[in-house]
Structure 1
Amino acid sequence: MVALRPRNGSTHVVVSDLPTKKPTVARLNSQASAKKANFRAKLLDSSKSSRRRGSSSSNTVTVSKSTPEELTPGQSSNFLTFSGRPPRTLPRPPYREVSAEALCAVGFESMVNEDRNIVRMMVESIIPQFNYIAALYDHICERENNTGGRETVVLDYSQSKSLPACTVLPTHMLAISTKPHPSSNAPKKVVLYPVHSSVLAMHCASLAPFPPVPPIDQASLDGTKQVRLPVMELNVPSPESFPMLMIYLYSKIISGVVNTCLPSPPPRDGSMDIASFCRQLAQTHSIELLSNHLGFVYGLWKNCTALGIFDMRLWAAMDFVWAILVDSIEIAHGLKVASDSKPESTSPSSSPSS
């Protein structure tokens, strides 16, 4: 199991051994493959050169002891309040594209005039070199609320024996938090996630440009497996669903989203129609559990809306699980006849088998 944990007090985050796993390589269409070699070189060069830019002055982030937690939708703090029945569909915000400023911030200056979908595909083509980082989300690293100037944290991966030599290390550490309730005196919980700025910048149209990566201090890091990452503060509506969202942006495995959002995975052999599956959920699981999962999906929707994520397959998956959960809850409440249960959306047709 992979873990992020502090080292020597509070200024280091240590990455333990990483499991070997062959990632899924994104398929490229004919237009993207024609430019694959050229874009791949540009992207990798941008990733390396971005570390040579930026200011070296920074504060340090204080990291408390890591707290391993199993994240389940049942722990979601997204509370749903509707005057009547929940809406049949989740509204979609107006589409917006990633800005040229965001591209330049991650070193893609030469690609600002390229079609954004093509650039996204090229980012996905090198994600296998990033993909190991998704395993880090099994555990979290917390710190107390810390305000002030720019912050950095040292990511230590010297204890990782199975880290592939071709791995591109993360560029930033996201400090994810949510605004506490005005009446609460509890300190704000902040969770740290190592990320690659190019992955988030190409998917999150509403995300502010990433801060520059400070140059590597060779005097302090020579001979070690460490990298100093700038910390980017980010408030999200639903911290509970954020790890799953990041894993999807890295893996693009939509079945993982569907299976996490539902209390039981839908049958994959065609042995049960949607109406029967909704009836099974209503009979097998409590209304409270179904409502918790609905709240988890609602939180995922809020995160996608706030960050400006317009991935079509992800939105189709949210529509699919939302409709199933709404129907299942209405069946459990006796508000809907089980045989008439037919969610308006269907399973994402382009979802992979794994």
Structure 2
Amino acid sequence: MPSTTSIARPSRRTDVSRPSSRRSQTTRISGKLECAAQAQVLAQKRRIPLATKYNVNSNVAASPAKISLPRTLPRPVLGEVDLSSLVNAYPNFTGIPADYIRERLPSSTHNMRAALQAVEISVCKSSLPKELEILMNDVVAAACPTHILAVYNDAPLGFGQKRHVSLFPVHDLVLRVHCAGLPTLPLSQPSTSSSHATIPVVPLRLPSPETFPLLHAYLYTRQPATLLASLAHPCVSDLVQLATHASKIHGLWRNACTLGVVDPQLYDVIEASWGSTIAAMQACS
């Protein structure tokens, strides 16, 4: 509801002998209204309501809408991965600190990344299977994925709609050593001696499945500059496009928090990208 200002109605009797009292009262009222207006302006500056002529949920021009975004994305408290789950899958890492493994892993993930690109997955069933077979070749056999993540979100579905699931081949070592909040993965040691390998399928609910490839790729390379370049906002003055880009950064941040990613550099990149995008939105609002 719009705010209103109540001013007491003066009595019908007019006192002409004290004109300074009336001027003083008028001055006090004007001063109060001016202070209230300034307080309202300062309160608006503390928020980031960004006005646009377009509804962000539609490409059609509509009545002015407001996009309210936080100035910063809070950095989660970084814990540490459960070494027991890592050692159970990889006994050779017994007694080795997880941060030591994280620092040296990117130098040995070239074959892993090549194998991920070479894997072909096809599902011909309406329900999600517990296992899938992948075709084995020399590239895949060099660093065969251990699991297939079935990534989805829990957004409400309309009548007759089906849940969309995206499948991603992964190496559990990379995920286990980086993600303190990773759900339990079944042990998997796919055989590479035949033409096919059977890989367990693991359902994984994430806030933003569409941005999981960004996070997944970063965990293999740990190259902040590459991730920062992929999160650079478009050089436009279109608030809707910038808001769409902001949702991409926000989705990446939510996924990282959900999985408990233990990597300060990742959150440095997210904070820098978010701040740059918010500044660009403020400049064109």
* 1:152 matched to 2:151: no
Distance of 1:141 and 1:253 partners within structure 2: 30
Q: What's the counterpart of residue 186 of structure 1?
A: 161
Among 195, 212, 216, the residue aligned to 1:246: 216
The alignment partner of 1:233 has SS state of: strand
Distance of 1:145 and 1:258 partners within structure 2: 38
Which sits farther off after the overlay, 324-333 or 127-136?
A: 127-136
Distance of 1:241 and 1:291 partners within structure 2: 15
Q: What's the counterpart of residue 87 of structure 1?
A: 70
Tell me, yes or no, if the aligned pair for 2:116 and 2:145 is still in contact at 8 Å. no
Distance of 1:237 and 1:290 partners within structure 2: 20
Equivalent positions of 1:160-179 (< 5 A) are: 163=139, 167-179=142-154
The alignment partner of 1:88 has SS state of: coil
Tell me, yes or no, if the aligned pair for 1:236 and 1:303 is still in contact at 8 Å. yes
Q: CA offsets per residue over residues 91-129 of structure 1, 9 Å max, x none?
A: 01222110123213422x353533221122243332122
TM-score by length of 2: 0.68
Evaluate the alpha carbon distance shift between residue 143 and residue 325 of structure 1 in structure 2; reply closer, same or farther with a 3 A threshold: farther
Evaluate the alpha carbon distance shift between residue 292 and residue 101 of structure 1 in structure 2; reply closer, same or farther with a 3 A threshold: same
Aligned pair count? 223
Tell me, yes or no, if the aligned pair for 2:157 and 2:163 is still in contact at 8 Å. no
Equivalent positions of 1:1-354 (< 5 A) are: 85-107=68-90, 109-135=91-117, 146=127, 151-158=130-137, 163=139, 167-213=142-188, 216=191, 222=194, 224=195, 226-264=196-234, 281=235, 284-333=236-285
The alignment partner of 1:202 has SS state of: helix
Tell me, yes or no, if the aligned pair for 1:143 and 1:189 is still in contact at 8 Å. no
Distance of 2:97 and 2:140 partners within structure 1: 31
The alignment partner of 1:130 has SS state of: helix
Q: CA RMSD in A?
A: 3.1
Letter in 2 for 1:188: R
- How far residue 208 of structure 1 moved from its aligned partner, in angstroms, is 1.8
User: Which protein is bigger by CA-based radius of gyration?
Assistant: 2
Tell me, yes or no, if the aligned pair for 1:142 and 1:190 is still in contact at 8 Å. no
The alignment partner of 2:266 has SS state of: helix
Identity of aligned residues (%): 25
The alignment partner of 2:80 has SS state of: coil
Tell me, yes or no, if the aligned pair for 1:134 and 1:246 is still in contact at 8 Å. no
Distance of 1:141 and 1:293 partners within structure 2: 30
Letter in 1 for 2:73: L
The alignment partner of 1:211 has SS state of: coil
TM-score by length of 1: 0.56
Q: What's the counterpart of residue 24 of structure 1?
A: none
- How far residue 235 of structure 1 moved from its aligned partner, in angstroms, is 0.6
Letter in 2 for 1:303: N
- How far residue 312 of structure 1 moved from its aligned partner, in angstroms, is 1.5
The alignment partner of 2:178 has SS state of: coil
Runs of 4+ with deviation above 4 angstroms: 139-145
The alignment partner of 2:284 has SS state of: helix
- How far residue 316 of structure 1 moved from its aligned partner, in angstroms, is 0.6
Letter in 2 for 1:314: L
Distance of 1:322 and 1:157 partners within structure 2: 41
Tell me, yes or no, if the aligned pair for 1:106 and 1:201 is still in contact at 8 Å. no
More helix by share: 2
The alignment partner of 2:203 has SS state of: strand
Tell me, yes or no, if the aligned pair for 1:201 and 1:209 is still in contact at 8 Å. no
For structure 2, which runs of at least 5 residues remain unmatched after alignment? Answer: 1-55, 58-65
Letter in 2 for 1:307: L
The alignment partner of 1:294 has SS state of: helix
Distance of 1:294 and 1:142 partners within structure 2: 33
